Amino acid sequence: MLKQGKALTSILLGALSLLGACGPQEDPKYRAEIANHRAALNEQFFDPAETPLDSTSFYTWKGLKFFPIQEKYKVKAQLTLIENANVFELPHSHQKTKPYKQYGKLKFELEGKAFELLVLEQEVKKPGYENYLIVPFTDETTGKETYGAGRYLDLEKSDAKEVILDFNLSYNPYCAYNEAYTCPIPPKENNLSLRIEAGMKYTK
C-alpha cells in the first residue's frame, strides 16, 4: 500500500502543477474541478474494492495518464433528437453486441471546423441509469496516445437543446484495463477527423 500511496501522491502533485500553469484567460475553478475529478478516478483505480484492474495489473499499476487541461475542448453543442429511432445491435469488444438506440445528434465547432457526434442510449438499462446517455468516439489520437477502441463521454437526458461537450472528461472504457469487461465500439459516424488532445490517455 506504501508504493500505491506514493504513486497517488505523485498523481495529485501533477494535477496541482496543471492548475498552477493556467493563464490569465483561464478559469481556475474549472481547472480545479477537472483536476479533482481526475484525482478521484485515480483513487478508484488504487482502491482494491473499486478498481476495474485485474489482480495482476493492480499491483503494478502506476496511475492514469491525462492530457493537460485545455478549455478549448469544452464546447457548446446543439442537440437534435432522433425521433422514433430503431433499436440496433452495437458491436462490443469480444465480438459481442448489445441493443442501443440513436438518441440524438450533437453539432459543434472545434478549431474552426464543424463536427457531429451521435448520442446513444442503451436499450437495456441498469437501475439508476435510466437517464444515462453515451457518446463513444474516436479521433486522430486513437491507437496512438489514446485507447485503440476509442473513448467515451457521458451525458444525461434533459430538455436542453444546447449541451456542454467537455472532452477534458473523456475516458477509457474498463475493457482497456481488464479483459473481463466488454465495451461498446464507437460507430464510424463518431470518428472525428482531428486530434482531441484532451481527457484520458492510454498506456497498456
pLDDT digits 0-9 by tens, 134-149 = 999 999 999 999 999 9
Mean pLDDT across 123-131: 87
3-state SS record for the chain = CHHHHHHHHHHHHHHHHHHHCCCCCCCHHHHHHHHHHHHHHHHHHHCCCCCCCCHHHHCCCCCCCECCCCHHHEEEEEEEECCCCCEEEEEEHHHEEEEEEEEEEEEEEECCEEEEEEEEEECCCCCCCCCEEEEEEECCCECCCECCCCEEEEEECCCCCEEEEEHHHCECCHHHCCCCCCCECCCHHHECCCCCCCCECCCC
pLDDT score of 168 = 98
Query: What's this model's pTM, rounded to 2 decimal places?
Result: 0.86
Hey, where are the domains in the chain? 2-58, 71-190
Residue 186's pLDDT band (boundaries 50, 70, 90)? very high
pLDDT tens for 9-35 read 444 434 443 444 444 457 999 999 999
